Amino acid sequence: MAQLSTKIKLYCEANSKTADFGSGGNVSLQDDSDGKGPYIKSWSVSGLDKPTDSQIASYETAGNTEEASNTVKSKRKTAYGDIGDELDMLYKDIVAGKVDATGDFAKHVKAVKDANPK
């Protein structure tokens, strides 16, 4: 199940707005630990009405997709390692004339993508 914040983010983006959940932001969520889950405590997105429960629910599938994509991106970012090391690997492949699928850089990227498919 997609998080409420993800669904609100997508709702705002679909209406050309931005949800800011930070301190002093335009959306505040709260969970009273009563088993009902989080809810919108305050809403002040300029030019956009607070979404209804059915509007929020309509973003469930898109929210699940967004969260799964973010998980893959995070895993890949960690697996790729330091950008400086990657650039060094790419430079060495260029110097060796291996700017194709046989170079170390291409093999590294393929391994990361294969281990973390979208």
How far is residue 101's CA from residue 90's CA, in Å, rounded to a whole number? Answer: 12
Taking a C-beta distance cutoff of 8 angstroms, is the pair 77, 109 a contact? Answer: no
SS3 103: coil
Instruction: Give the tens place of pLDDT for each residue, 24-66.
Output: 999 999 999 999 999 999 999 999 999 999 999 999 999 999 9
Instruction: Give the tens place of pLDDT for each residue, 70-105.
Output: 999 999 999 999 999 999 999 999 999 999 999 999
The pLDDT value recorded for residue 26 is: 98
